[in-house]
Amino acid sequence: MTQSKGRRSGYVALVGRTNVGKSTFLNAVMEAKVAIVSAKPQTTRRKILGIRTTERGQAVFFDCPGIHKPHFRLNELMMKEVRDALHDADLVLFFVDIGAAQHDQFIFDLLREAGKVVFLVINKIDKLNKGRVLEKIQEYKDAFPWKEIVPISALRNVNLDLLEDLIFKTLPEGENFYPAEETTLQGQNFYVGELVREKVLDQVEDELPFTTTLKVEEIKDRGDTVYVRAEIYVESTAQKKIVIGRQGGLIKRIGIEGRAALEEYFAKKVFLDLHVKVVPDWRNSPQIIREIFD
């Protein structure tokens, strides 16, 4: 594919703690729902690829799991996703929530180890006034040798054009890595599962966001409808009862919301067949972790 001179293309890793708005930013800059979004911790478990192609070039975004210290095999592989993205990236966007305390040395050590160009992206500036935003910039400016410091609101679309402009100015010159019409390389089963898992996260509380996952067992196009069968994994019978809910009320709400999201995706009627399965300690199961990350 021939590209005009001066086009820029490269890989951009979106990293930060959980719930700092990385997925919200990705969806906003892509102008499409590429990654699920939830206020629950550790929503993103695999790095999500978003491909943004403009007349200036192509930015390939890795939306990474939130940085944390792992205690299960699942979390170890989530952090491997982060490290792999940092290794492959031409540019790193390090996201912080403007309302959060300064991050610890663990994260700065990861960034230094990667040795890449890093932008500090201070997100959710719509929550505070300009004076507090300036205070947060001062708090962080000497913590790391940032290439740029950019305050944004991914939710309110504040300064996203500025950030995209700086990204394309920083990426190396080069041809597109993917066809211009591509926006993601996620497989259908993975994306469908993520859409439904988002609805699970919307409904469950306490420790359940950490101890639930979802596996799509079957997707079958039946002409005027699409049949989707999926299993929600939990770690105990007590958790299964919670997910099912009183008289099946919670699983019914998950099904209704999940079906609506899938009908928007498939642009046709969907029959969503949900089941809850107890799989003790699935977060340490090599087989299940392989299914999530393959």
Q: How confident is the model at residue 40 (pLDDT cuts 50, 70, 90)?
A: confident
* Over residues 236-262, mean pLDDT: 95
Read off the pLDDT of residues 106-130 as tens digits, 9 standing for 90 and up: 899 999 999 999 999 999 999 988 8
> Could you give the strand order of the β-sheet that contains 225-234, starting from the edge strand earlier in sequence?
213-221, 225-234, 269-278
Walk me through the domains of the chain, giving residue ranges and CATH numbers: 8-170 (3.40.50.300), 188-293 (3.30.300.20)
Cα dihedral 132→134→136→140 (10° resolution): -170
pLDDT value of residue 6: 82
| Secondary element (H or E) of residue 46 | none
Distance CA 85, CA 77 (A): 12
Outline where 92-236 has alpha helix (H): 105-114, 130-140, 160-170, 188-203, 208-211
In 3D, which of 237, 185, 145, 153 has the Cα closest to residue 35? Answer: 185
Could you give the C-alpha distances from 266 to 162, 220, 228, in angstroms and in order?
34, 12, 11
Give the DSSP letter string of 88-106. H-SEEEEEEETTSPPP-HH
In 3D, which of 46, 144, 64 has the Cα closest to residue 103? Answer: 144
Task: Give yes or no for residue 226 having a pLDDT over 60.
Answer: yes
Read off the pLDDT of residues 173-194 as tens digits, 9 standing for 90 and up: 999 999 999 999 888 998 999 9
Task: Give yes or no for residue 20 having a pLDDT over 90.
Answer: yes
CB atoms within 10 A of CB 207: 10
What predicted TM-score, i.e. pTM, was given to this entire model? 0.88
Distance CA 125, CA 97 (A): 8
What beta strand segments (E) does the chain contain?
A: 8-16, 48-54, 57-63, 91-97, 117-123, 148-151, 213-221, 225-234, 269-278
What's the distance, CA 272 to chain centroid? 24
